[in-house]
Amino acid sequence: MKAILAFFLGLLLTVHSLVAQKADRTKPPVSEAPRSLMVPKVEQFILKNGVKVYYLQKTGVPHVSITIRSNGGTANDPEDKIGLATATATLMRDGAGNRNALQLSDEIDYLGIMLQSYASADEMSVGLFTPVSRLDAALDLMRDVVLKPRFEAAEWERRQRESLVALAQAHDEARIIASTAFNQLIYGKAHPFARRATESTLKNISIADIQGFYRQTITAANSSFLVVGDVAKETIKAKLDARFGLWKGGTAKKVTISDPAKTIGRTLYLVDKPGAAQTELRFGSAGVRRSTPDYFAITIMNTILGGSFSSRLNQNIRETHGYAYGANSGFSFPRSVGHFIASSAVQTDVTDKAVNEFMKELTNIRNVSDDEMNRARNYEALGYPENFGTVNALAANISEKITHNLPDNYFNTYVPNILGLTKTQIERAAQQYVDPANMVIVMVGDLSKIRDGIEALSLGPIKVLTKEEVLGAIPVLK
Amino acid sequence: MKSFFSLLFLLLVTISGIRAQEKALSIPHTVHTLDNGLTVILHEDHTVPMVTVNVWYHVGSSYEKPKRTGFAHLFEHIMFEGSGNVKEGDFDNLLEAVGGNNNGSTTQDRTNYYETLPANALDLALFLESDRMGYLLEAMSPGKVDGQRDVVKNERRQSYENRPYGMAFQTILENFYPKDHPYNWPVIGYMDDLTAASYEDVVEFFKKYYAPNNAVLVIAGDIEPAKALEKVKYWFNEIPQGEAVIRPTAPVFGLLDEKKLTIEDNVQLPRLYLAYQSPARYAPGDAEMDVAADVLANGKNSRLYKRLVYELQIAQNVSVYQDGSALGGMFMVVATARPGIKLAQLQAVIDEEIGKLTTTAPTEREVQRVIHQNESNILRQMESPMAKAEMLQSYYRFAGNPDWLNEDFSRYKALQPSDISASVRQYLNPKKRVVLSVVPKGKTDLAIQ
CA atoms A358, A359, A362, A364: torsion sign: negative
> Smallest CA–CA separation between B36 and chain A, in Å?
11
B50-57 and B258-265 strand pairing: unpaired
- Per-residue pLDDT of B384-418, as tens digits, reads 999 999 999 999 999 999 999 999 999 999 999 99
Q: What is the pLDDT of residue B352?
A: 98
CB-closest option in B116, B131, B148 to A386: B116
State whether ipTM is beyond 0.90.
yes
Taking residues B10-18, report their average pLDDT: 39
- Per-residue pLDDT of A361-400, as tens digits, reads 999 999 999 999 999 999 999 999 999 999 999 999 999 9
Q: What is the pLDDT of residue A35?
A: 85
| Those residues with Cβ within 8 angstroms of residue A354's Cβ, 6 or more apart along the chain or in another chain | A279, A281, A317, A321, A323, A324, A344, A346, A347
Fill in the amino acid letter for B144. K
pLDDT higher than 50, residue B181: yes
Q: What is the pLDDT of residue A249?
A: 87
Quick one: A153 exposed, middle or buried, by C-beta within 10 A (0-12, 13-18, 19+)? exposed
Closest CA relative to residue A73, chosen from A61, A85, A58: A85
- Per-residue pLDDT of A410-462, as tens digits, reads 999 999 999 999 999 999 999 999 999 999 999 999 999 999 999 999 999 99
- Per-residue pLDDT of A24-43, as tens digits, reads 999 999 988 888 888 889 99
| Those residues with Cβ within 8 angstroms of residue B181's Cβ, 6 or more apart along the chain or in another chain | B250, B251, B253, B327
Candidates A25, A111, A444, partner chain B, best to mutate (most B CBs within 10 A): A25
Percent pLDDT > 70 in chain A is 95
pLDDT higher than 60, residue A185: yes
Q: What is the pLDDT of residue B7?
A: 40
> Quick check: A163 and A197 in contact, CB under 8 A?
yes
Question: Does A168 sit within 8 Å of B339, measured CB to CB?
Answer: yes
Q: What is the pLDDT of residue A33?
A: 87
Quick one: B167 exposed, middle or buried, by C-beta within 10 A (0-12, 13-18, 19+)? middle
> Smallest CA–CA separation between A380 and chain B, in Å?
6
pLDDT higher than 70, residue A127: yes
DSSP structure string for A199-210? HHHHHT--HHHH
Question: Does B234 sit within 8 Å of A25, measured CB to CB?
Answer: no
Q: What is the pLDDT of residue B404?
A: 96
Taking residues A200-224, report their average pLDDT: 97
Q: What is the pLDDT of residue A39?
A: 83
User: How far apart are the two ends of chain B, measured CA to CA in Å?
Assistant: 59
From CA A86, how far away is CA B23, in angstroms rounded?
A: 44
Write the Ramachandran bin of B233: left for phi over 0, alpha for psi from -120 to 50, otherwise beta: alpha
Range from A168-182, B187-201, B272-286 carrying the lowest mean pLDDT: B187-201
Question: Does A25 sit within 8 Å of B84, measured CB to CB?
Answer: yes
- Per-residue pLDDT of B342-374, as tens digits, reads 999 999 999 999 999 999 999 999 999 999 999
pLDDT higher than 50, residue A16: no
pLDDT higher than 60, residue A20: no
- Per-residue pLDDT of A253-269, as tens digits, reads 999 999 999 999 999 99
Q: What is the pLDDT of residue A25?
A: 97
Query: Is B44 part of the contact surface with chain A (CB cutoff 8 Å)?
Result: no
Q: What is the pLDDT of residue A218?
A: 97
From CA B188, how far away is CA B177, in angstroms rounded?
A: 17
* Model confidence band, residue A478 (pLDDT cutoffs 50, 70, 90): low
> Smallest CA–CA separation between B151 and chain A, in Å?
5
Candidates A27, A61, A159, A467, partner chain B, best to mutate (most B CBs within 10 A): A61
Average pLDDT, chain A: 94
* Backbone torsions φ then ψ of A155, nearest 5 degrees: -70, -40
Q: Could you tell me which chain A residue has the CA closest to the CA of B311?
A: A158
Question: Does B131 sit within 8 Å of A62, measured CB to CB?
Answer: no
From CA B132, how far away is CA B85, in angstroms rounded?
A: 9
pLDDT higher than 70, residue B242: yes
pLDDT higher than 50, residue B19: no
B433-440 and B258-265 strand pairing: parallel
Determine the 3-state secondary structure of A47 from DSSP.
Answer: coil
Q: What is the pLDDT of residue B313?
A: 97
CB-closest option in B47, B131, B380 to A25: B131
Q: What is the pLDDT of residue B355?
A: 98
Q: What is the pLDDT of residue A37?
A: 83
Question: Does A385 sit within 8 Å of B118, measured CB to CB?
Answer: yes
> Smallest CA–CA separation between B2 and chain A, in Å?
8
Q: What is the pLDDT of residue B3?
A: 35
Strand partners, A124: A70, A119
Query: Is B26 part of the contact surface with chain A (CB cutoff 8 Å)?
Result: no
From CA A204, how far away is CA A182, in angstroms rounded?
A: 26
Q: Could you tell me which chain A residue has the CA closest to the CA of B36?
A: A20
Query: Is A18 part of the contact surface with chain B (CB cutoff 8 Å)?
Result: no
Q: Could you tell me which chain A residue has the CA closest to the CA of B14?
A: A133
Sheet holding B50-57, edge to edge: B30-33, B39-44, B215-221, B50-57, B111-118, B101-106
Q: What is the CA radius of gyration of chain B?
A: 23
> Quick check: B61 and B53 in contact, CB under 8 A?
no
Contacts B161 to A, Cβ<8 Å: 277-278
Q: What is the pLDDT of residue A476?
A: 85
- Per-residue pLDDT of B248-270, as tens digits, reads 999 999 999 999 999 999 999 99
Query: Is B21 part of the contact surface with chain A (CB cutoff 8 Å)?
Result: no
Question: Does A133 sit within 8 Å of B12, measured CB to CB?
Answer: yes
Contacts A102 to B, Cβ<8 Å: 300-301, 306, 310
Closest CA relative to residue B272, chosen from B449, B442, B438: B438
Q: What is the pLDDT of residue A14?
A: 41
Q: What is the pLDDT of residue B23?
A: 66
Contacts A278 to B, Cβ<8 Å: 154, 157-158, 161-162
- Per-residue pLDDT of B73-126, as tens digits, reads 999 999 999 999 999 999 999 999 999 999 999 999 999 999 999 999 999 999
Q: What is the pLDDT of residue A36?
A: 84
From CA B358, how far away is CA B296, in angstroms rounded?
A: 12
Question: Does B266 sit within 8 Å of A112, measured CB to CB?
Answer: no
Contacts B14 to A, Cβ<8 Å: 133
Contacts A159 to B, Cβ<8 Å: none
A324-331 and B39-44 strand pairing: unpaired
> Quick check: A65 and A392 in contact, CB under 8 A?
yes
pLDDT higher than 90, residue B16: no
Percent pLDDT > 90 in chain A is 92
Fill in the amino acid letter for B308. L
Query: Is B147 part of the contact surface with chain A (CB cutoff 8 Å)?
Result: yes
Contacts B146 to A, Cβ<8 Å: 322
Q: Could you tell me which chain A residue has the CA closest to the CA of B123?
A: A29
Q: What is the pLDDT of residue B22?
A: 56
Quick one: B81 exposed, middle or buried, by C-beta within 10 A (0-12, 13-18, 19+)? buried
Question: Does B313 sit within 8 Å of A158, measured CB to CB?
Answer: yes
Query: Is B428 part of the contact surface with chain A (CB cutoff 8 Å)?
Result: no
pLDDT higher than 50, residue A18: no
pLDDT higher than 70, residue A310: yes
